[in-house]
Chain A
Amino acid sequence: MSEAESASSAGDMAKAERASFDPRILVFTCNWCSYAGADLAGTSRLQYPPNARIVRTMCSGRIDPVFVLEALKDGADGVLVTGCHPGDCHYVKGNFRAEKRFHFLKMALKQLGVEEDRVRLAWVSAGEGEKFSLLIRDITEKVRELGPNPFKSSNVKST
């Protein structure tokens, strides 16, 4: 086997390994827009990968960055926070607050060395079932490429 061939088969193996890895994605949805968007994806029978688990809160403004950190620590491979579009928040401006906090969370995660694509914030309205399904598809694929979450307590090697 030539060097090039063996390199490519190693690449294939890594690819296959990644493909066999099923990421676990935690999704926070607000009650009014994005949870309803997720419901609409269901009533429209839009198929998406079965990797996401949804936790509902009343508003994306309820999402404490600690929840996301806890989820990563517990072993979630990716976390998606969703809320109403800017200006559409049922509670006037909760989503702006969520966005602000998310910015700081991203900075903290960067310092910890967590890949940026593992954690995402997106706006999904009650009418955007298709967008919700595409988001789940997208984050699942991105996180699959990144591989398992190295921050899961049991994945961290003791020194």
Chain B
Amino acid sequence: MEEPTIGVFVCHCGINIGGIVNVPEVVEYAKTLPNVAWAEGNLYTCSEAGLSSIKDAIKKNGLNRVVVASCTPRTHEPLFRSTCEEAGLNKYLFEMANIREQCSWVHSHEPEEATTKAKDIVRMAVARSRWLEPQDEPEVDVADSAMVIGGGISGLMAAVSMASQGFKVHLVEKEPQLGGITRRLGKIYPTLQDSSDIIDPVIKAATASENIRIYTSATLKDISGYVGNFKVSLKKGTEDTRLEVGTIVLASGALNYEPPKGSFQYGVLDKVVTQLQLEEMLTQGKLAEPERVLMIQCVGSRTGEVWTYELSDMTQSFAARLLSKILGAKKEEGWPYCSKICCMNAIKNAIRIKEQWPKAHVDILFSDLRTYKEYEDFYRRARALEVKFIRYIREIPPEITEAPDKKVKVTVYDTLAGVETEFLCDLVALSTPLCPSKEDVMLARMLKVPLGPDGFFMEAHPKLRPVDCQSDGIFIAGTACGPKDIPESIISAKAAAARASILMANRKLKTEALTADVDTDLCMGCGLCEELCPYGAHKIEGGKSKTVAALCRGCGVCAADCPRRAITMRHYSDRQILAQVEAMMT
């Protein structure tokens, strides 16, 4: 191996790193490390200036290793790797030191400690880089067909978009009908168009397309394989189908949260319904002219309750525990986030009632009203129609009791008037959030993709890769990754379809060269690697293990277990890992 000549580039990331970590000190420190021939600080290493500075330094100093100390490799490694390639350096000779997400941002009140830690992280990265080796990337074929999971507005839009580009699409829907939640809505805000105006043409386009095969009432049984070559087995009735697809668009949608029985008398009094049920009553003409309809916002959302972990002492966030302690509030059931669409939905239904029956009273009890963007006009329109908006305090929720004449009595502390007020209503609608479904957990396991803290599918990066899953070849559309309204769902569906189409149009994909390499001199053919490999990448032939590179995904289970230490993982060798471990302590 040639003698390593290492260049270190330490990023200020504006004030994100530079405001806490003493970057010049880290740069000076890097210069003292063995084999480091060049070190510099950059305001933004990922900027055009930063990148050309890397390329210049590689050429000027004959660098054959590059270390960038900045943010997480999960977002910026591809950029720096391609910069190295532009300067003629194999991209596997690049190493990243994460001094932002794992240093400056988590030690923002301890600049000295953060600087020490940043030096350690750089030292560890430099130590690893010394042992890096150039690698060739294997190429895999990408099947030019896709599976879309979910036949709601997002799934349909994604399917139609990919089909129109000539790709074969398999659309899998668990319900007997296509259309998802959009079909259940009567009208769409803020235009008050019929939802069928939106959903029907898309269903028609999908069913008419030659490139789309639709499986309704279907259940996914298993998904295996990897980008370009996913193998899917699904069941429709008694019929089993096996598919081979190149990409997957996950558009499984969300559920409308149903409050537990007894919460706001839901399930106890039949005059208490969810906002979506009210909408269906309005659309189907099942609501007789009411004297008063009352809506309660944020039922089961923004509860302050966080996702629970298994460790008992970590069950709640510190802030949530403190808050419940101070207020002595009861643990509310529901979801911690704002569901984004409920305010507009309530206003929409209020307007529908007022326009149909001008004499009817409509009151909306809210804790915070969030009518963002152009929806502020929608709110004003409801005000002009004399819909009453009354603010309640979360800690003093409205109380609901049965009243004579098939009415419901709602008692609420009106914060504006400063008094407790009573309403006799014909109907109470609870605005409940969109929430993830239990099936998402199974789906996440099948696809090997993570769920976020709220239980929705998690994107690879909320800003830079908003429709990509962390696993290659899988993309998320619509409300599967959080509450969205129809335009936002369609935007994400088209984005996901476009991202998937890039892969399918190229037909070939270079995969990372993180595969196992067997030293046949050391191998004694015990077969443990063959037994352990989840992908069947190891085969014992002629008393020695043979690796099928195309099947190897690079986990390294075989290397860690090989009794003869005959297996080297490319780019994650024992030597590379131990160099980091050793460097941490020196």
Q: Which residues of A contact B (CB under 8 A)?
A: 24, 26, 32-33, 35-36, 38-43, 45-48, 50, 53-59, 61-64, 66-67, 70-71, 74-76, 87-94, 97, 101, 125-131, 133-134, 152
Beyond A55-B577, A58-B514, A94-B555, whether A26 also contacts B584 by CB under 8 A is yes
Q: Check if B557 is an interface residue, CB within 8 A of chain A.
A: yes
Type the 1/0 row for B542-586, where 1 means its CB is closer than 8 Å to any CB of A. 000000000001111101110000000100101001101110110
A125 vs B553: C-alpha distance in the bound complex, in angstroms? Answer: 20
How far in angstroms is the closest Cβ of chain A from B93? 17
Closest to A32 in B: B470
Shortest C-beta distance, A75 to chain B (Å), equals 4
B307 interface residue (CB < 8 Å to A): yes
**Which of B24-32, B107-115, B244-252 forms part of the interface with chain A?**
B107-115
B138 within 8 A of A: no
Whether B294 is near chain A, meaning CB under 8 Å from some CB there, is: no
Closest A residue, CB atoms, query B451: A127
Smallest CB-CB A-B distances: 4 pairs:
A42-B101, A62-B556, A91-B555, A126-B450
Q: Tell which of A57, A66, A88, A93 touches B444, judged by Cβ atoms closer than 8 Å.
A: A88
Which of chain B's residues has its CB closest to A96's CB? B557
Interface string of B91-126 (1 = CB under 8 A from A): 000000010111101111110011011001100100
Would you call B192 an interface residue if the criterion is a C-beta within 8 Å of the partner chain's C-beta atoms? no
Nearest A residue to B574 via CB reads A64
B448 at the interface (CB under 8 A from A): yes
Contact of A97 with B532 at beta-carbon distance under 8 Å, contacts A58-B555, A134-B314 already known: yes
Q: Is B74 an interface residue (CB 8 A)?
A: yes
Docked complex Cα distance between A62 and B576 (Å): 13
Q: Give Cα A33 to B434, complex, Å.
A: 25
- B47 in contact (CB, < 8 A): no
Which residues on the B side are within 8 Å of A42 (C-beta)?
Answer: 72, 100-102, 105-106
Once A35-B74, A50-B117, A74-B582 are accepted as A-B contacts, the answer to whether A90 and B577 lie under 8 Å apart by CB is no
Q: Is A62 in contact with B451, judged by CB distance below 8 angstroms?
A: no
Question: How many of chain B's residues touch chain A, expressed as a range?
Answer: 35 or more
A36 and B450 form a contact (CB under 8 A):
yes
Cα separation A54 to B574 with both chains bound (whole Å): 16
State A48–B585 Cα separation when bound (angstroms): 20
Inter-chain contact A39/B102, CB cutoff 8 Å: yes
Q: In the assembled complex, how far is the CB of residue A12 from the closest CB belonging to chain B, in whole angstroms? A: 25
A55-B560 contact in complex given A76-B585, A92-B534, A134-B314, C-beta closer than 8 Å:
no
Complexed CA–CA distance, A55 and B105 (Å): 18
B contact residues around A74 at 8 Å (CB): 581-582, 584-585
Closest A residue to B445 by beta carbon equals A87
A133-B572 contact, Cβ under 8 Å, with A36-B470, A39-B74, A91-B557: no
Q: Does B34 contact A (CB under 8 A)?
A: no
B448 touches A88 (CB 8 A): yes
Contacts of B584 in A (CB 8 A): 24, 26, 53, 55, 71, 74, 76
B317 on interface, CB distance cutoff 8 Å: yes
Chain B residues in 8 Å Cβ range of A39: 72, 74, 98, 101-102
Distance A39 CA – B462 CA, assembled complex (angstroms):
12
Whether a CB of chain A sits under 8 angstroms from the CB of B453 is: yes
Whether B311 sits at the interface, judged by CB under 8 Å, is yes
Q: Taking CB as reference atom, which chain B residue is nearest A93?
A: B534
Contacts of A90 in B (CB 8 A): 448, 471, 555
Tell me whether B581 and A70 are in contact (CB under 8 A). Answer: yes
Interface residues of B (CB under 8 A from A): 72-74, 98, 100-103, 105-110, 113-114, 116-117, 120-121, 124, 306-307, 309, 311, 314, 317, 444-445, 448, 450-454, 458, 470-471, 514, 532, 534, 553-557, 559-561, 569, 572, 574, 577-578, 580-582, 584-585
Give the shortest distance, in Å, between B4 (CB) and chain A (any CB): 19
B552 to chain A, nearest CB (A): 10
- B107 / chain A contacts, CB cutoff of 8 Å: 47-48, 50
Q: Which residues of A contact B73 (CB under 8 A)?
A: 56
CB neighbours of A125 from chain B (8 A): 450-451
- Which residues of B sit under 8 angstroms from A56, Cβ to Cβ? 73
**How far does the alpha carbon of A48 sit from the alpha carbon of B110 in the complex, in Å?**
10
CA distance A42 to B206 in the complex (A): 42
A74: nearest chain-B partner, CB-CB: B585
| B120 engages A53 (CB within 8 Å) | yes
How far apart are A67's CB and chain B's nearest CB, in angstroms? Answer: 6
Query: In the complex, what distance in Å separates the CA atom of A48 from the CA atom of B572?
Result: 28
Min CB–CB distance B301 → chain A (angstroms): 18
* Chain A residues with CB under 8 A of B557: 59, 61-62, 91, 94, 97
Cα of A76 to Cα of B553 in the assembled complex, Å: 31
Apart from A90-B471, A97-B557, list 17 A-B contacts with CB within 8 A: A24-B584, A26-B581, A39-B72, A45-B106, A46-B106, A50-B103, A50-B107, A50-B110, A54-B121, A61-B556, A62-B556, A62-B557, A76-B584, A89-B448, A101-B561, A125-B450, A130-B309
What are 14 pairs between A and B in contact, CB < 8 Å?
A24-B584, A39-B102, A42-B72, A45-B108, A53-B121, A55-B577, A57-B556, A58-B555, A61-B557, A92-B448, A101-B560, A127-B458, A130-B453, A131-B309
A38 vs B162: C-alpha distance when bound (angstroms) = 35
**Shortest beta-carbon distance, A100 to chain B, in Å?**
9
B580 interface neighbour in A55, A59, A61, A64, Cβ under 8 Å: A55
Of B113, B445, B514, B569, the residue contacting A88 (CB under 8 A) is B445
Is there contact, CB below 8 Å, between A48 and B311? no
Shortest Cβ distance from B564 into chain A, in angstroms? Answer: 13
> For residue A62, which residue of chain B has the nearest CB?
B556
For the complex, give the distance between the alpha carbons of A102 and B279 in Å: 55
| Chain B: CB-nearest residue to A38 | B102
Instruction: List residues of chain A with CB within 8 A of the CB of B108.
Output: 45, 47
Residue of A nearest to B307 (CB): A127
* A97 near B450: Cβ-Cβ < 8 Å: no
Task: Give the complex CA separation of A106 and B117 in angstroms.
Answer: 28
User: Among the listed B117, B444, B581, which residue makes an inter-chain contact with A55, where contact means beta carbons less than 8 Å apart?
Assistant: B581
Contact (Cβ within 8 A) B560 A88: no
- What's the nearest-Cβ distance from chain A to residue B359, in Å? 49
